Amino acid sequence: MITINYQMFGNKGFQLRLRLYQDGETKFINVTKRLKGPIQKRHWNQKKQIFTPSCPFYDENNAFLAQFRKKYEEAIDNWNGSVFGMIAAMETSTPDTSKSMNVSEFIQLIIDRLNKNKHPDGTSKGSFENYLKCDKRMNEFCKRKGIKYQKLLISELTPQFVNGVLDWVENVRKGKGRTYISKMLHSIIMKADKDGHLNAEDFKNCNWTRIPQNSSQKFNTLTEEQCQMFASLDLQEISNSAKNELYRDFCLFILYTGQSACDAIALKYSDIKQIGGISHFVFNRRKIAERQSVPCSVPINAELERIMQRWRPLSKDGYIFPIRNKEKLRTQGTNNGDIKHFIGNLNYWLKKVGKALGCSFPLHSYTFRHTAITHYISKGVPVIYVSNMMGTSIENCEKIYYNNQGDISSRNKVLAAMRF
């Protein structure tokens, strides 16, 4: 009788394999690369043979393990020979999808997987538009090179092909779109490696576009004077938009809460909880909900109450702001199109406001998140509290958000302390 179970192995992070055993004959099948997310050893329950609920992509990974194991269990029912004989028979009868799936089909498979992962409001968690753009660019590259793109198999991708695409983007397209094309191509290679179609190690020396570890916006924050000026600007002198006040209140809301724009748009009254007698927004960030072990917890002050009361009569379906509602979600043609449309218009409006505030950089919606994090840290709020409040790591606070050059309070403390 062949017995089957999953077991961890190795000492370099989390590794999982399927073990098939019979009369001293053992066969191992590594499934680590087929799992999703940064899994750790503590996420695995060996006795129950499942991942614990704290595991990233908990449902999907457990579903995969059950399905993967099932085909071997079904094979055992009708097999009387050795373990290796059964494996050989299965490999002979199982079609090799890596030899039949072309690049375009594999990209569509990635998109289908992304679209299965949903937010509570029904919108997809993954952003798939750049995969479609990358597919289109590769098609254009192949036409120029006389390659039949629709017949190019995912297993036939090579480092030379990848470098050829990136060089074509640089030389023919004058570098337009190089960053997203490089990022998407790299993602496709890594996913193909995980599915067993390619070896990602073969592509590690490709001419990938290196993304800076530090944010280019790190030092773009508003001063306290500029924040006060923003709150009292005569907006009619700057813009004739009918949404002047909505745009301003939305930015002030981010300035106080430190939220990203997409989280603020999706925020609902049902996200308000009482903690120690004080109302808080308690929520998981849309971008990292699966990996976020501690929810954001943002105390609500009088100014946030004012903003909510002002827009509550115009908001629908429990949302804080009159930007998103069920009807828009049902009818929009682009995933999260309402969020993208609002932020695009807001950033266009902020260009004009930035000039009025005397900003030396382009003013964007995320400037208010950077400013909030810098402000709270400069006022002595412990960075661990700020990181939990903002739904980011202490490392990201340091590398991406906190503007030490704009921290006037801390600078003045240093000047006062320069006495020995």
- Is residue 168 within 8 A of residue 124, CB to CB? The reply is no
As given in the structure block, the two tokens for residue 133 are 């753009």
pLDDT number for residue 213 = 63
Per residue of the chain (420 residues), what is the pLDDT tens digit? 788 999 998 887 899 999 988 887 888 888 888 888 889 999 999 999 999 999 988 888 898 899 888 888 888 887 877 777 777 777 665 544 444 689 999 999 998 888 777 787 878 777 788 899 999 999 999 999 999 998 899 988 999 999 999 999 999 999 999 999 999 999 999 999 988 888 899 999 999 998 766 666 788 999 999 999 999 999 999 999 999 999 999 999 999 999 999 999 999 999 999 999 999 999 999 988 878 888 999 999 999 999 999 999 999 999 999 999 999 998 887 788 999 999 999 999 999 999 999 999 999 999 999 999 999 999 999 999 999 999 999 999 999 999 999 999 999 989 999 988
pLDDT number for residue 91 = 65
C-alpha atoms less than 13 angstroms from C-alpha of 208 in its C-beta half-sphere: 16
Which of 185, 181, 179, 180 lies closest to 200, judged by CA? 185
As given in the structure block, the two tokens for residue 49 are 């043979």
- What HEC string does the chain produce? CCEEEEEECCCCCCCEEEEEEECCEEEEEECHHHCCCCCCHHHEECCCCEECCCCCCHHHHHHHHHHHHHHHHHHHHCCCCCHHHHHHHHHHHCCCHHHCCEHHHHHHHHHHHHHHCECCCCCECCCCHHHHHHHHHHHHHHHHHCCCHHHCEHHHCCHHHHHHHHHHHHHCCCCCCHHHHHHHHHHHHHHHHHCCCCCHHHHCCCCCCCCCCCCCCCCCCCCHHHHHHHHHCCHHHCCCCCCHHHHHHHHHHHHHHCCCHHHHHHCEHHHEEEECCEEEEEECCCCCCCCCCCCEEEECCHHHHHHHHHHCCCCCCCECCCCCCHHHHHHCCCCCHHHHHHHHHHHHHHHHHHHHHCCCCCCCHHHHHHHHHHHHHHCCCCHHHHHHHHCCCHHHHHHHHCCHHHCHHHHHHHHHHCCC
Helix axes 244-257, 224-232, angle to 10 degrees: 150
As given in the structure block, the two tokens for residue 108 are 């569509």
pLDDT tens-digit series, residues 107-163: 999 988 887 777 878 787 777 888 999 999 999 999 999 999 988 999 889 999 999
Ramachandran area for residue 276 (φ above 0: left; ψ -120 to 50: alpha; else beta): left
Which of 19, 52, 4, 58 lies closest to 35, judged by CA? 58
- Is residue 22 within 8 A of residue 39, CB to CB? The reply is no
How far apart (Å, rounded) are the C-alpha atoms in residues 255 and 316? 23
pLDDT tens-digit series, residues 20-65: 888 878 888 888 888 888 899 999 999 999 999 999 888 888 988 9
Ramachandran area for residue 34 (φ above 0: left; ψ -120 to 50: alpha; else beta): alpha
- Is residue 302 within 8 A of residue 352, CB to CB? The reply is no
β-pairing, 3-8 vs 16-22, is antiparallel
How far apart (Å, rounded) are the C-alpha atoms in residues 247 and 349? 8
Length of the chain: 420
How far apart (Å, rounded) are the C-alpha atoms in residues 282 and 267? 10
Which of 231, 261, 217, 248 lies closest to 403, judged by CA? 217
How far apart (Å, rounded) are the C-alpha atoms in residues 325 and 342? 13
C-alpha atoms less than 13 angstroms from C-alpha of 148 in its C-beta half-sphere: 4
pLDDT number for residue 100 = 62
